[in-house]
Amino acid sequence: MSSSIVFQTAMYLVVLFALAWPLSRLLATALDGSLSSRFAFLGKSERALCKLMGINADEDMPWWRYALALLVFHLIGAVFVYAQQRLQGSLPFNPAHMGAVSPDSSFNTAISFLTNTNWQGYAGESTMSYFTQMLSLAAHNFMSAATGLAVAVALIRGFVRRKASGVGNAWLDLYRATVYILLPLSVVVAMFLVGQGVIQNFDGYKDVKLTETVTYQVPKTGADGQPVKDAKGNPVMVDTKTSTQTLPMGPVASQEAIKMLGTNGGGFFNANSAHPYENPTPLSNFVQMLSIFLIPAALVFMFGRWVGDARQGLTVLGAMTLLFVAMVGVEYWAEIHANPTLTHLGMSGLPGNMEGKETRFGIVASSLFTVITTAASCGAVNTMHDSLMPLGGLVPMWLIKLGEVVFGGVGAGLYGMLIYAILAVFLSGLMIGRTPEYLGKKIESFEMKMVAIAILVTPCLILGGTALAVMLDVGKAGMANPGAHGFSEVLYAFASSANNNGSAFAGLSANTPFYNLMLGIAMWFGRFTVIIPVLAIAGKLAAKPRLAQTSGTLPTHGPLFVMLLVGTVVIVGALTYIPALALGPVIEHLQLFGR
């Protein structure tokens, strides 16, 4: 029973909703300020903080000022993360003596972590000092997630407020999201993970005396330091022996917890959540999967409560769950079928496609994780996505391209889905010939323009970026796999960056100036050219009156609207991306199974 995908998915959803429901209460009280008015010491420390920042605690920011505040905050962060990577060689907590990171990689990583993408062109265990991992990277896991929460809350305020000029106070929203929500949850999850075997220390890397000496081959280098080549031009290989294995150490669990809870996804190690020190057991894997969807699911419940109609939240949640379950089904079906090329050679077809998977997770927990991490904007992986079967790779790629609205990133999933809800209301309004309304707010031309920008920016970045990369030699040079799969690698990289996911078809050699720059740009605009239109919508809606429901109002709850919402998401996602997907995973599937 434990290996049944139906049972595992059902158990996952039941536990998720059982935890998300109570959490949604905490979210609402923390973010609307009632928590700090109930507990005097919290209120006092908030007022002290406001004094220190030199701001008025009651300042209610108009949407553009709210957006500007977030931008200034993150620009400071970008400079800080860049500088710390460049200087890490002379900073403390660096037992492995990591030197400065290259300028283009530092730029890419700075953008990557502040935009909640956590795309990683580098390998953690051989690049980053403990100090960089904690102070720059883990800290940004918190701050970028807090930004997502803040924007989602600002949008909800837009629906709830009547004739108001502001959408909230960005500083207090960031502070409350981080300190009242992300931090306590992270401590709990981190401790659980340590109990399962995730490491948490500041020790130097440890040497292990191997049970059996390992013999391997390395290219021979001549006196000039260049590899020696034989008559045919192939490098000459020499046998080398080692009886030592060096184990990386570090403060992993603390980073792991917020990596999942903040839907960041940036691994401490190169292998991410496949690494036994990041994700040692099936139970730690389950808790990591729960952590990814926990806050996004709770936010949807909170949305319903905050707008005063729980059914609105349940409707959004229904649409998300429907898409999620369907995608889990396709992913699992693709992965239990072993690669026919390999079974012809004499490999067992059971349990399925094990290339790039860990034994302890098997097909079920790997498929589930793959869908969860790309439905949300997490991007942590417990499976190497590059080695998924063609359709098994199509599912995560498509989920990312939908804009990660199936539960989605912390905050980003909710505001992304509400953008689609506004679009669905607009389309239905056209069909029945009425002025569209959502939650009592009239949707007019300004809002629709902003919706269009938010929905169209990422496809432009993804398709434009991919087209450019496959036309240029520097872009093609990065592909590790031949044929259609190489194209998929590039397409996945741009999709993952522009939608701030961060997972990869990791064969792509992306730590080059070309990809570091291109993907850095995609991540920045993919994040903020969605956030700014969303805040603009929030501001415009907040200024409007809230209309009473009449018999002529299109209800935005119930099964009909669930289907309208799912339909809108699927049609936009399909129309935009089917041509590109046909060139990658679809062709590869036909090549593999078509003969």
Cα–Cα separations (whole angstroms), residue 301 to 27, 263, 311: 10, 18, 9
Nearer to another protein (CB atom), residue 348 or residue 550:
348
**Least CB distance to another protein at residue 552 (A):** 40
Distance (Å, whole) CA 430 – CA 437? 12
- Min separation Cβ 109 and another protein, Å: 15
- Residue 360 CB, nearest approach to another protein (Å): 5
> Whose Cβ is closer to another protein: residue 258's or residue 323's?
258
For another protein, give the closer residue by CB, 280 or 329.
Answer: 280
Least Cβ distance, residue 112 to another protein (angstroms)? 16
Comparing CB distances to another protein, the nearer of 199 and 323 is 199
CB of residue 276 to another protein, shortest distance in Å:
4
Shortest Å distance, C-beta 453 to another protein: 22
Residue 510 structure tokens = 């992306």
**Please, which residue, 67 or 565, has the CB nearer to another protein?**
67
Look at the block and give the residue holding tokens 């989602």: 152
Q: How far is the CB of 381 from another protein (least distance, A)?
A: 7
In the bound complex, what is the minimum distance in angstroms from residue 366's beta carbon to another protein? Answer: 8
Cβ count within 10 A of residue 236: 13
By beta-carbon proximity to another protein, the closer residue of 175 and 494 is 175
- Cβ 26 to another protein shortest distance, Å: 18
Q: Is 307 helix (H, G, I), strand (E, B) or coil?
A: coil
Look at residues 332, 338, 412, 336 and name the one whose alpha carbon lies nearest to residue 375. Answer: 412
Written as one string, the DSSP assignment of 77-130 is HHHHHHHHHHHGGGSSS-TT---PPPHHHHHHHHHHHHTT----SS-GGGT--H
Q: Which amino acid is at 585?
A: P
CA 99 to chain centre: 28
State in angstroms the smallest separation of the CB of 417 from another protein: 27
Task: Give the number of other Cβ atoms within 10 Å of residue 57's Cβ.
Answer: 16
Question: Coil, helix or strand for 298?
Answer: helix
* CB nearer another protein, residue 331 or residue 386: 386
Minimum separation from the CB atom of position 254 to another protein (A):
4
Q: Which is nearer to another protein, 2 or 34 (CB)?
A: 2
Contacts of 2 (CB under 8 A, 6+ apart): 8
Q: Both tokens of residue 519?
A: 């993907």
Min. distance of Cβ 285 from another protein in angstroms? 7
SS (H, E, C) 379-390: CCCCCCHHHCCH
Q: How far, in Å, CA of 582 to CA of 595, rounded?
A: 18
Given a contact cutoff of 8 angstroms between Cβ atoms, the answer to whether 253 and 259 are in contact is no
The CB-of-184 to another protein minimum distance in angstroms stands at 10
* Closest to another protein by CB, 505 or 561: 505
H/E run at residue 451: helix 445-471
- Distance (Å) of CA 304 to CA 28, 375, 376, 438: 11, 21, 20, 13
Report phi then psi at 58, rounded to 5: -95, 5
Q: Is 138 exposed, middle or buried (0-12, 13-18, 19+ CB in 10 A)?
A: buried
What DSSP element (H or E) covers 217? Answer: strand 206-219
Closer to another protein at the Cβ: 22 or 184? 184
Nearer to another protein, 72 or 571 (CB): 72
| 3-class DSSP string for 499-530 | CCCCCCCCCCCCCCHHHHHHHHHHHHHHHHHH
Say which residues have a Cβ less than 8 Å from residue 450's Cβ, sequence separation at least 6: 533, 534, 536, 537, 540
Q: Please, which residue, 90 or 341, has the CB nearer to another protein?
A: 341
- Specify the residue, 254 or 529, whose C-beta has the smaller distance to another protein: 254
In Å, what is the CA distance from 363 to each residue of 263, 336, 338?
23, 7, 10
